[in-house]
Amino acid sequence: MTAPTPDVLRWIERVTGGTVLGSERFTRGRETWWVDVGSVDGERRWMLKGRRVPAAVAARSRILTDFGPGREAAAIGALAGQGIPVPELGGYHAEAGVVLMERMPGSALLQRVGESGRRATVRDYAGHLARLHQLSPSDLTIRPAMPVPGDARTMALGGWLASAEADAVTAAPRLRQAEPLHDLARWWLHANVPDGRGLEHVRLLHGDAGVNNFLFQDEAVTALIDWELALLGDPMSDLGNARYREALYPTGTYPDLIAEYERVSGSPVDRGAIAYYAAVSGLMLSLGMVANVQRPRPSQPEAVARLWQDALARVIVSEAIAEATGIDLQPVEFDEPPASSYAPLAELLVARLDRSAAVADAGQDAAEARGYVQLARAVEGLLSRSAALDAGTLADAATVLGRRPADVPAAMNDLAALVRADPQRHFERLLPVLAADARRRLVALAPLQAAEIWEDAQPVVDATVSPRSGPVLPSFDRPS
């Protein structure tokens, strides 16, 4: 819908005690508005946040049903008066699937700040995250209620990963090819729940902690935002997700976050559990997007950026599991391909789209246009590189299968069959092969990193600095 419904507007007036003066759609691909409300105390701006997708689509997805505006309302409502910077909760309209909250000042784009400012801001954020994890769930009133894990295994696996796994099962018949990395990662995560992380560790989690999910001004955090994935679980899950988000939106501050978190919490973090939950975070995202990645929908505003996000998530999953198991992933070599005779066509497409993007209307139209430019640039590179990338994956697959598959889909199907047959037996040979395939995908889709645009006409991150062979998973330690 282009504006909040009359029923929702009447609800806003009822819960705020004011009069709605106007609303403005916030252009980020989902139903979100700024709503101005007037009262005897003056005018105030609120954020009305809706579902990511229409209700009928959300109803077909376990993760979109289990998580969303209701979880966000429950989390920020529970944290009122607890010393954690969150927006004031106006209310949650369950039927409409919208949450009303105070508009908070500040920016989310830490990438726009200089190094010293980034580090200081992240240290402030780390302190808030540590204090969040010190709150006992028994002292919080959480409405709507969140599921309480009954044992350590459920705490590790029963949150949004379980929901994403259920959606992956539903999506499987629509896939073009098997996903052996998903299958292997799911087996490993279920077989390696972190030791020593019992129910005494259960806390209210942000669920999507990390850079770009908090607002800041002048090196101080003004609000922790985007609580849709909030859950009761292991605090190391938030730190693992923050590690994943640092790879997605690099700032170079992850070591600062860990050091300050340890200082404020008074105890060392569990690095093995953080690696585990970084893999969980990456897998959850990749499972949730697999159907759209294999069969992208032109109507989906985030389709282009999701291709890149999925590629990175696959590398994160493989690197995190390799770190946890001591497997050494070898760099993938990328030779510069010869020029294609069709290159002028791709160059023309990029130039024409670039020209159209330059005159696109501000907001969603401009963001969509820039995404098309980056998609064309990725296709431009793949015209000459795709054969070599596929050849590398087929050669790697042959080292495990003992024969060269006919094509990449056949290779993925054959490798998935090995996972189904005996994942433990084939694990150490399969993981490097699947990690290399994920890395090739990441390099091939590198231009798409610049397709994600939030607050202005500029990409969230710079696509030109994507690593070709070095680790993507951020280290705990700052380079000397």
- In this predicted structure, what is the pLDDT of residue 84? 98
Tens digit of each residue's pLDDT (9 = 90 or more) over 228-241: 999 999 999 999 99
- In this predicted structure, what is the pLDDT of residue 480? 58
Burial class (CB in 10 A: 0-12, 13-18, 19+), 231: buried
Tens digit of each residue's pLDDT (9 = 90 or more) over 125-180: 999 999 999 999 999 999 999 999 999 999 999 999 999 999 999 999 999 999 99
Q: Which residues partner with 32 through β-bridges?
A: 49
**CA–CA dist 450, 150 (Å, integer):** 42
Would you say 383 and 343 are in contact if contact means Cβ atoms under 8 Å apart?
Answer: yes
- In this predicted structure, what is the pLDDT of residue 13? 97
- In this predicted structure, what is the pLDDT of residue 459? 83
**Dihedral of the alpha carbons of 400, 403, 407, 409, in degrees to the nearest 10:** -40
Name the phi and psi angles at 20, rounded to 5.
-70, 120
Q: What pTM was estimated for this model as a whole?
A: 0.94
Task: Kindly state the average pLDDT of the residues 33-52.
Answer: 94
**CA–CA dist 350, 345 (Å, integer):** 9
* pLDDT tier for residue 360 given thresholds of 50, 70 and 90: confident
Give, in order, the Cα–Cα distances in Å from 305 to each of 107, 132, 296, 459.
Answer: 21, 31, 11, 11
Domain-wise residue ranges, the chain: 6-102, 110-465
**pLDDT over 90 percentage in the chain:** 74
Burial class (CB in 10 A: 0-12, 13-18, 19+), 453: buried
CATH fold of 6-102 reads Phosphorylase Kinase; domain 1 (3.30.200)
Q: Looking at 218-222, 322-326, 441-445, which range is the least confident one?
A: 441-445
- Please spell the DSSP secondary structure of 208-231, one letter per residue: S-STTSEEEETTEEEEE---TT-E
Asked if residue 308 has pLDDT above 80, the reply is: yes
**pLDDT over 70 percentage in the chain:** 97
For the chain, report the end-to-end CA distance as a whole number of angstroms. 52
Greater pLDDT, 263 or 342: 263
**CA–CA dist 429, 442 (Å, integer):** 21
* pLDDT tier for residue 27 given thresholds of 50, 70 and 90: low
Asked if residue 1 has pLDDT above 60, the reply is: no
- Closest-CA residue to 134 (of 89, 84, 87): 84
β 89-93/42-49 pair status: unpaired
Q: Looking at 85-89, 119-123, 425-429, 441-445, which range is the least confident one?
A: 441-445
Greater pLDDT, 21 or 363: 21
Q: In whole numbers, what is the pLDDT of the chain averaged over residues? A: 92
Three-class secondary structure of residue 275 per DSSP: helix
In CATH, what number does 110-465 get?
A: 3.90.1200.10
Q: Which residues partner with 45 through β-bridges?
A: 36
**CA–CA dist 164, 179 (Å, integer):** 14
* pLDDT tier for residue 28 given thresholds of 50, 70 and 90: low
Give, in order, the Cα–Cα distances in Å from 387 to each of 180, 312, 330, 363, 374.
Answer: 21, 21, 21, 37, 21
* pLDDT tier for residue 29 given thresholds of 50, 70 and 90: low
Give, in order, the Cα–Cα distances in Å from 455 to each of 226, 362, 386, 446.
Answer: 15, 11, 33, 21
**Dihedral of the alpha carbons of 336, 342, 345, 346, in degrees to the nearest 10:** -30
Tens digit of each residue's pLDDT (9 = 90 or more) over 421-458: 999 999 999 999 999 999 999 999 988 888 887 766 67
* pLDDT tier for residue 302 given thresholds of 50, 70 and 90: confident
